[in-house]
Structure 1
Amino acid sequence: MQKFIDEISQAKSLAELESARLALLGKKGVITEGFSKLKELNGDEKKALAESLNKARDEANELLASKKAELEEKEANEALIKDGVDVSLFNEPSLRGAMHPVMATMDKIIDYFVAQNFSVETGPLIEDDFHNFEALNLPKYHPARDMQDTFYLRDFRLLRTHTSPVQIRTMQAKKPPIRMIAPGAVFRRDLDLTHTPMFHQIEGLVVEEGDKISFANLKDILQNFLVYMFGDVKVRFRPSFFPFTEPSTEVDISCIFCKGCGCRVCKQTGWLEVLGSGIVDENVFKAVGYSGVSGYAFGLGVERLAMLLHRIPDLRSLFEGDLRLLEQFR
């Protein structure tokens, strides 16, 4: 019996341990054969042998279980060492992606207005004439339609030329107060250094009951926004014309390149145009069934702001997918 106990204790692998177990407890093992002899004995001899065999079996099972756990832990540790990876080994840094500058700029703009309690609204890219033009005080044959070269479809629908239709749809679906921005892609038939057929806009709209909204509210939100985007800049509001707002203004900032002194980028004026805005025209409110309300609206081109923030000279480079440009924004 001691011989088999020694074999169990000295087993160096699970295979050796299993061999020792079979020699002791298998069908032809020593203890199993001992139990088969009990039928040949009687009385005290049978009882004494049975007690001895049971004791030996229990001791063997206990020793086998202990040794098996020891060997399994040993083999697991050896496998970890064999298959382990030294993470401190030197390797070339892997390339990682980055947010596209246009999307990063759009996210920055959205973050500002969401923090000012504006909701983010979306709408279809394919629009009808009413939502894209007529409801925005641009009736058929209105000369201001020439300001936007439109992609028309065969069913007389069109690719939206601005995100203003989202404002119309929002006013049709909701009642004041409304405080929203509408980010998204827009389409116009244009291509040069500062224009592409597809680009991104974010337009904002605030509507309140009565005459609570004034031009002062518009100036306050836009001045704070432009300082948030460009830092310590001066903001200028110039009279302009938009069919859907009256009065209307173009908004400029002091040139971020020359600090207002005059340079090639600002054409020696010291100012850069960044967005348009104004008080919502009454005809727009009539088109959506509103009365007795006031509001302001504004709109900006995301690519325009991205170009200024990142000093990008050609708008088309933002859409060419050139990795030499995009890798700079990791």
Structure 2
Amino acid sequence: ILARLHPIDETTNLTPTIIAKTTRRLHLDPSHPLGILKRRIESHFSSFLIADSLDPVVSTTQNFDDLLFPADHPGRARTDTYYVNATTVLRTHTSAHQRETLSSRRSDGYLLSADVYRRDEVDTSHYPVFHQMEGIRTFDRVRVEEEVGVLDGEPTVRPASAGVEDCELSPENGVQVVHSEREAELVGAHLKRSLERMVQDLFGADKNLRVRWIEGSFPFTSPSWEMEVFYEGKWLEILGCGVVQQKIMDQAGNSDRVGWAFGLGLERIAMVLFNIPDIRLFWTTDDRFRSQFTSGQIVKFQPYSKYPACYKDVSFWCPDEFHENDFAEVVREVAGDLAESVALIDEFRHPKTHKTSRCYRINYRSMDR
């Protein structure tokens, strides 16, 4: 992986196709839609330290344990995660680098951007490799009132801006016991106002833009929220965020600080802003796609392929341990990006043998013909 050898064992589930993707790093191309969006967000958080060339191979400790993932969390399963070996994975989120970033204490704010890897279904909005951006902002706990109280000249704690719907927190998503109510209120408000301004910058061309906050649930933050925006007539889930678990701050040598963090998928936002209908297009090398985009500019993608779709149905008896992501992996390895989607269309359980047969429809469509 990236010219380095790693030992393998019975947990290894990487494929040649996935390994080949590790060299692409689309977010570093300033004229690619993902690179354009990345730089737009970075310009909004101009004082933050940027890290965007991080090694995709991380330990299970970095990817799960440091972030307080329970031992039985589904994200740890081989059906969801690409294991290099029993103790090493391809990162499933940029948060895998959170502890080392915080431990450096090089800045009050950080922006991490990277390619991340998850085994997933096959359709036009899911791909086993995508790109995340994570923002982290920390504050001195002694001076938190002073540091957090004002954002760009306006009080941080104030009624939600026009067009913003806030939410009440449930007891399960409350303030951490090690934080005071005021501390959590200030940090949470600073987080929300910062992100509201970011989406105004990204989606501001829509005069009917609205923002709403809903409760979220993440192992590494509490309280946690998700942000949705009403853009061009429909609600879109944009990101997840929250007040960083103080245990994570403490383990990273930041017991004297409190912080917030957010994470967003660059593809999800870019597909909306650039009007890109299929996530596979981000990976094409066709100049008819690449030539439409210029560094610093957000323009609507003009489709060039009129190739029709065709489908093939395949049915088979499933072993007891069958998981749909395993089948998706086979389809991607054999058909590559010609496979547009895979959908279960029929299921049969034999009354005597109790074996299960499933029928899947594989939809094929070239992006570049």
Q: Normalization by structure 1: what TM-score?
A: 0.61
Q: Which residue number corresponds to residue 252 of structure 1?
A: 228
Decide whether the 8 Å contact of 1:126 with 1:158 is kept in 2.
yes
Decide whether the 8 Å contact of 1:252 with 1:274 is kept in 2.
yes
Decide whether the 8 Å contact of 2:56 with 2:90 is kept in 1.
yes
Q: Which residue number corresponds to residue 117 of structure 2?
A: 187
Structure 1 unmatched runs, 5+: 1-96, 259-269
Q: Which residue number corresponds to residue 66 of structure 2?
A: 135
User: Are 2:269 and 1:305 equivalent residues in the alignment?
Assistant: yes
In 1, Cα distance between the equivalents of 2:223 and 2:76?
Answer: 19
**Matched residue SS, 1:241:** coil
Q: Which residue number corresponds to residue 219 of structure 1?
A: 192
Cα distance change of structure 1 residues 230 and 316 upon mapping to structure 2, 3 Å threshold: same
In 2, Cα distance between the equivalents of 1:157 and 1:308?
Answer: 34
Query: Of residues 29, 39, 51 in structure 2, which corresponds to 1:121?
Result: 51
Query: Of residues 29, 34, 53 in structure 2, which corresponds to 1:102?
Result: 34
Query: Of residues 215, 220, 227 in structure 2, which corresponds to 1:239?
Result: 215
Which of structures 1 and 2 has the bigger CA Rg? 1
Structure 2 unmatched runs, 5+: 1-28, 145-185, 295-369
Amino acid at match of 2:281: S
Cα distance change of structure 1 residues 197 and 144 upon mapping to structure 2, 3 Å threshold: closer
**Greater shift after overlay, 124-133 or 190-199?**
190-199
Decide whether the 8 Å contact of 1:127 with 1:157 is kept in 2.
yes
Cα distance change of structure 1 residues 237 and 304 upon mapping to structure 2, 3 Å threshold: same
Q: Which residue number corresponds to residue 288 of structure 2?
A: 324
Decide whether the 8 Å contact of 2:238 with 2:264 is kept in 1.
yes
User: Are 2:97 and 1:166 equivalent residues in the alignment?
Assistant: yes
Aligned length: 219
Q: Relative CO higher for 1 or 2, CA cutoff 8 Å, sep ≥ 6?
A: 2
**Matched residue SS, 1:169:** helix
Cα distance change of structure 1 residues 184 and 328 upon mapping to structure 2, 3 Å threshold: same
Q: Which residue number corresponds to residue 67 of structure 1?
A: none
Shift of 1:280: 0.6
Shift of 1:144: 5.3
Shift of 1:201: 0.8
Decide whether the 8 Å contact of 1:98 with 1:327 is kept in 2.
no
Shift of 1:119: 0.8
RMSD between aligned residues: 2.4
User: Are 2:243 and 1:279 equivalent residues in the alignment?
Assistant: yes
Q: Which residue number corresponds to residue 261 of structure 1?
A: none
* Percent of matched pairs sharing the same residue: 36
Q: Which residue number corresponds to residue 202 of structure 2?
A: 229
Decide whether the 8 Å contact of 1:162 with 1:186 is kept in 2.
yes
In 2, Cα distance between the equivalents of 1:279 and 1:314?
Answer: 33
Decide whether the 8 Å contact of 2:67 with 2:248 is kept in 1.
yes
Shift of 1:313: 1.4
Q: Which residue number corresponds to residue 54 of structure 1?
A: none
In 2, Cα distance between the equivalents of 1:298 and 1:164?
Answer: 9
Q: Normalization by structure 2: what TM-score?
A: 0.55
Decide whether the 8 Å contact of 2:74 with 2:80 is kept in 1.
no
Higher helix share: 1
